[in-house]
Structure 1
Amino acid sequence: MDKPSAPKIAAHTGCGIAPDNTVESFMEGIRLGADIVEVDLRVTKDGIIVLLHDDSPLLHECTYEQLNQLETRVKVSAIYEKYEIVRLSDILQIAKQYEVKLNLDIKTPAAIEPAIQLVKQYQAENQVFITGCSESITSRHRDIQVVFNTPNEFTAEERNDYSLYAEKVCKESVSGSYYGLNMNYETCHQEVVDLAHASGLAVWVYTVNDPDVMRRFVQIGVDVITTRAVTELAGLTR
């Protein structure tokens, strides 16, 4: 049997010292040598896509300029006393400069269309993967690579017969024209990797920080491992 190729490394936002979803964190992912850097996306009142994981009432009440004022942004999180709230447009420009790929983890359906339009504006279709909220993207934007977020839990039948889960997620991904599967690592086993690859699907796993778990996924041949421990994973794969 041929040895599987080494998986790509996706740096989870906050993979270094800087807080999640800051420009500084994004640059840390690049400096550590990740193939892909992940960020979380939400949308402001005026339709600006920003890097934030959690929802806030202020997103629905404020324009981006209002939200990014110091007295307002610290109400979103204390980290914003020292950091600005970042726009996706800023990240797309940096990604172009450094030729790094992006995993855009869309956290709300309202952010889907403005995020896709920005990707197209920056001609980054081949540089971007979408995870998270992805409903209707593959039917409306066939030039965008979307990785299907698989269920984090098994049904009772699937717990007794994992093949049912593997067949379900692969069938749904193929029928939905997805690029691949984005899986919580606890739900990913060799059977689904083999079936996905046979179906023309890539397999991503998240968020893997333990070296022993990393080794297991390297061995079973997943395509991308998302991690906060980029250096450790690079030591196993490069």
Structure 2
Amino acid sequence: MLVVPAFPQHAANPALPHAKHKTVVIAHRGNHVNAPENTLASTREAIQCGADYVEVDLRTTKDGHLVAMHDAKVDRTTNGMGKIADMTWQEVVELQVFNRNKKTHRIPEFREILAICKGKINIYLDFKDADVTESWKQIKAAGMEHQVVVYLNKEEQYKKWREVAPEMPLMTSLPKEVTNKEQLTAFLNHTHIQVADNITEPELLKAAHELGIAVWLDVQSPTEGPASWNEALHKGVQGLQTDKPAEMVSYIKTNVQ
């Protein structure tokens, strides 16, 4: 049985949402084993399998609607073509999401996903291309203020989130030049995040733990399974993002305390 130590969280930091498991289980783009990624169905599947978070990629239509979509273009996942940013909501809602010729799905609005998740699962919000003020407005309207962590893809997103929602927990990747505790401390003094996703070196992981920063690693891959999960957990991380959330939940319950 692998024992994962708790990590200290500084009182001044925004608190992370409550997680059911000792190691946080994040369903990458929802549980898309049996349902298409970033759909209402894959979100419900993530809830049903008991994951702590559903990862949601957020983008904006031409007329300002917030939608769940990983790619900038709809070509890969739907029967349409073109950029989400160039399409109206009416055009987006008419698209069919590919699902191996089974039940038809569509691209959902963010507000729909928030409604499904409230009180059932946290959201790991991969903030691709959206308006911070409108995103926060919808999060508050859904009563989800304490069930969301925002992943930042650009440095300029940090300032806006801190201005609009100072109590929102934030996550990002560390810059490549951050390689030791002193550099990590300097980075955190400038960018007050609660989670990082790209720390694997033992000394830097130890420093992150001491500084109260959680580390959630991406482990999704074609060969993902217990061996790769065990390897990641032995590094002492606090969370894993997976393409197999149901299997991981079972593994965590059996092997981690």
Q: State the TM-score, normalizing by the size of structure 1.
A: 0.81
> Does the CA-based 8 Å contact 2:218-2:241 persist in structure 1?
yes
Q: For residues 7-86 of structure 1, what are the structure 2 equivalents within 5 Å?
A: 7-15=23-31, 16-56=33-73, 57-69=82-94, 73-74=95-96, 78-79=98-99, 82-86=104-108
Q: Could you tell me which residue of structure 1 aligns to residue 190 of structure 2?
A: 175
Structure 2: stretches of 5+ with no match in the other structure: 7-21, 74-81
Runs of 4+ off more than 4 Å: 77-81
Instruction: Using the TM superposition, give the Cα deviation of residue 150 of structure 1 relative to its aligned residue in structure 2, in angstroms.
Output: 2.8
Question: Cα RMSD over matched residues?
Answer: 2.5
Give CA-to-partner distance per residue, 1:204-234, whole Å, 9 cap, x none: 1113433212112222321111101113322
Structure 2 distance, partners of 1:236, 1:58, is 39
> Does the CA-based 8 Å contact 2:173-2:196 persist in structure 1?
yes
Report the count of equivalent residues. Answer: 218
The one-letter amino acid of 2:213's match is L
Q: Could you tell me which residue of structure 1 aligns to residue 174 of structure 2?
A: 150
* Higher relative helix content: 1
Instruction: Using the TM superposition, give the Cα deviation of residue 90 of structure 1 relative to its aligned residue in structure 2, in angstroms.
Output: 0.4
Relative to 1, partners in 2 of residues 1:121 and 1:82: Cα closer, same or farther, differing over 3 Å? same
Give CA-to-partner distance per residue, 1:166-221, whole Å, 9 cap, x none: 654553234211112122xxx52322221111111111111343321211222232
2:148 to 95, 110, 128: 128
Structure 2 distance, partners of 1:167, 1:17, is 45
Structure 2 distance, partners of 1:140, 1:114, is 10
Instruction: Calculate percent identity across the aligned residue pairs.
Output: 25
Q: Could you tell me which residue of structure 2 aligns to residue 203 of structure 1?
A: 215
Q: Could you tell me which residue of structure 1 aligns to residue 9 of structure 2?
A: none
Structure 1 distance, partners of 2:186, 2:163, is 16
Q: Could you tell me which residue of structure 2 aligns to residue 194 of structure 1?
A: 206
SS of residue matched to 2:197: strand
Relative to 1, partners in 2 of residues 1:131 and 1:204: Cα closer, same or farther, differing over 3 Å? same
Q: Could you tell me which residue of structure 1 aligns to residue 113 of structure 2?
A: 91
